[in-house]
Structure 1
């Protein structure tokens, strides 16, 4: 087995569909496709062209299905190799037979992510872009889609390349200072360059939380006293009536979950039991569960009714809390600038609340870039090495700067261990 063998895989999801796609890539892919296709010879087609014909089993002459055949010629294909796609009807039986024929002719079934691995090895994508391919496939929210697409288009890679160029220029100057002291090389303002590089790295790291939330989603807990307006606020955020609303305190004894998407992030909003001192064992269990849910949530809405005296606040991780004063349409019994005033009935203040939620979840950076856990680790290593360089005299900074550059190179895969590459691609599906 080599990384130039012809490989094939079903590229569409399991199950029935109108169209199914089987991909074939590698040395001899066009010749192999010609033997399995009745119609115009794929070897005579220009890249980017397609033709209608039939997929056949050359051993028996059996027609398997009608198909569109698309040809992409090296190096102008996804993998950088000659690549053919058979677009058939989306029956699992049809797709299995097409695979059986291609394997019988000498192709082998592709491994997980092997098409994208070949794209990476053939210089069509760097490692950050390859990770973006997987993130784009798995994106469930609009923000994750946007982040992954920007990374696939090379936005993150270009930022890293500009940073590397800046540090390489400094490293070259330091080397000249050491190698040719008699030439009178002028001292460089190394501290300023490193501080700029550190600020760039920290700016990227500031987006790590937003990237994680965009990819994995977040939990938003609504906490407050009974009858504070939590259920009404949940319904207002959702845009439809999901939770029962009653003027009777203590209506919600257990928690209620509802999915929604805000700012492109898939959220699970959790309406919880009202938090208060109580002797009722069932209500007390609901209060304890509400506080546990708050502890585990990514963000908490602490809801207080501003039309009645404010109750004592519950024990909460306040660094993850957005404070909301509800029932702004009623006369107010108290006022606190730390609270956002909203009315679930009239919609007053809902825009400001959503903006506060956006900043609490995404930060001021806004979640522009996709960052995987591997990339965050590499950026943290680069930050640490740049910090070390900053503490050294200019003529001793070289080693720390080289280590920082290695960490940055790992982001795009120019300097990364084979097992790291293997770990990235083992998460892919077969066919991509």
Structure 2
């Protein structure tokens, strides 16, 4: 991001469209002077930080009143960017926000680039790189799990864990150097292996959260398959908590697939009710069966649904991530199978057990503490490889591998040895105004 780091920048910070309130941000050296040129009310340059004042936004060239608004002033370094900054809280129409932004540009600010406010926060030491990534993850979070994990990283928990691992490796490197320079004062080989093993264990524990991070961010597809009239549509409605799919005792009602969004254990899911799987001469129904099997192949989890009150069917080949569900558990059963989870869509019996089974298949026993980006996962893999390499070397040759592992860990926070390319990669997906 080859942008000046001092000049005043401005952007609309609220989403596109109409709303009760809109926010326009302004930050940088001279930001309060720019604000004073478009503000009719108390002079922003004389206001204390963290205080609102009521006034009017005006065109600096014509004096036309653009809107009544609230002005919130921040004094450096106690602002998001670490600079003098202010926010104009206006009415949320696109016309108002557009005119306020134009007025600020006329008054001497320039339009901010995507993520430039957060980039300045990073460059001014208000956030490290991991926290900056957490800002974007929090903005984009669609499920509660992603929100919780991103907030934890934004608060610095992930950065503190990485800093602790860096400190351990730095201390070990110092001892190894002492071993080379002063053999009688160095570290014992077994002690070095133990420290490396403990750091490696922590890195692998973080990497174990990669799957839950990906699911928390992109969500998952849940496919319901089974014979006609097995209760798939009723089960979908029961999971959703409202009637989304039409339910009929007539087999073959669902000819195509039907999607519905839901959230379970904080993860956004898309549940897909598919056509009943059976041999048929009807070309339309056969196409639905083929599509159902294709959807099952591509899903993150398959629920194979069978009617426990009817003769037991033979399931088709199922993918590894699948669960078997015996529906209509409120009716007298014609078969029992411990490999199936009994569920009644009428009474709700077994639904919680099914949801817990879905959670365990998708996430494992643990949901994960942090929301890891692909960049962070890649850096942790690099650190793991170098630590494994160091474990298999004699103590006098460990240094280089440990330095590479330390470099990979340091890149997570971006405090040192992080290239401009890496920084640009982090901020390239930010929206304007953040």
Q: Is the 8 A contact 2:324 2:341 kept in 1?
A: yes
Q: Note the C-alpha offset of 1:153.
A: 1.0
Q: Is the 8 A contact 1:40 1:53 kept in 2?
A: yes
Q: What residue number does 1:303 align with?
A: 305
Q: What residue number does 2:56 align with?
A: 54
SS state at 1:323 partner: strand
TM-score with structure 1 setting the length: 0.95
Q: What residue number does 1:380 align with?
A: 381
SS state at 1:346 partner: coil
SS state at 1:267 partner: strand
Q: What residue number does 1:334 align with?
A: 335
Counterparts of 1:396 and 1:183, CA distance in 2: 17
Instruction: Show CA shifts across 1:182-240 (max 9, x none).
Output: 44654452222222222212221221111111111111001112222211111111112
Q: What residue number does 2:362 align with?
A: 361
Q: Note the C-alpha offset of 1:250.
A: 2.5
Counterparts of 1:407 and 1:185, CA distance in 2: 24
Counterparts of 1:176 and 1:184, CA distance in 2: 5
Worse overlay, 121-130 or 35-44: 35-44
Match of residue 239, structure 2, among 237, 242, 260: 237
- When the two chains are superposed, the root-mean-square deviation of aligned CA atoms in Å is 1.7
Counterparts of 2:184 and 2:154, CA distance in 1: 47
Q: What residue number does 1:117 align with?
A: 119
Counterparts of 1:132 and 1:344, CA distance in 2: 39
SS state at 2:310 partner: coil
SS state at 1:431 partner: coil
Q: What residue number does 2:128 align with?
A: 126
Q: What residue number does 1:2 align with?
A: 4
Counterparts of 2:326 and 2:369, CA distance in 1: 31
SS state at 2:96 partner: helix
Q: Is the 8 A contact 1:254 1:273 kept in 2?
A: yes
Q: What residue number does 1:162 align with?
A: 164
Q: Note the C-alpha offset of 1:89.
A: 1.8
Q: What residue number does 1:344 align with?
A: 345
Q: What residue number does 1:294 align with?
A: 296
Q: Is the 8 A contact 2:39 2:55 kept in 1?
A: yes
Counterparts of 1:185 and 1:214, CA distance in 2: 42
Counterparts of 1:284 and 1:176, CA distance in 2: 74
Q: Is the 8 A contact 2:143 2:267 kept in 1?
A: yes
Counterparts of 2:70 and 2:348, CA distance in 1: 53
Worse overlay, 415-424 or 52-61: 52-61
Worse overlay, 289-298 or 218-227: 218-227
SS state at 2:337 partner: coil
Worse overlay, 78-87 or 363-372: 363-372
SS state at 1:69 partner: strand
Q: What residue number does 1:93 align with?
A: 95
TM-score with structure 2 setting the length: 0.95
Counterparts of 2:269 and 2:184, CA distance in 1: 63
Q: What residue number does 1:261 align with?
A: 263
Q: What residue number does 1:107 align with?
A: 109
Q: Note the C-alpha offset of 1:289.
A: 0.9
Aligned residues: 431
Superposition pairs for residues 162-311 of structure 1, below 5 Å?
162-183=164-185, 185-311=187-313
Q: Note the C-alpha offset of 1:275.
A: 1.8
Q: Note the C-alpha offset of 1:134.
A: 1.1
SS state at 2:431 partner: coil
Q: Structure 2 regions of 5+ residues with no counterpart?
A: none
Q: Note the C-alpha offset of 1:25.
A: 0.6
Q: Note the C-alpha offset of 1:330.
A: 2.6
Q: Is the 8 A contact 1:219 1:268 kept in 2?
A: yes
SS state at 1:189 partner: helix
Counterparts of 1:184 and 1:171, CA distance in 2: 10
Counterparts of 2:276 and 2:167, CA distance in 1: 56
Counterparts of 2:307 and 2:93, CA distance in 1: 57
Q: Note the C-alpha offset of 1:148.
A: 1.5
Instruction: Show CA shifts across 1:71-90 (max 9, x none).
Output: 10111100000001111222
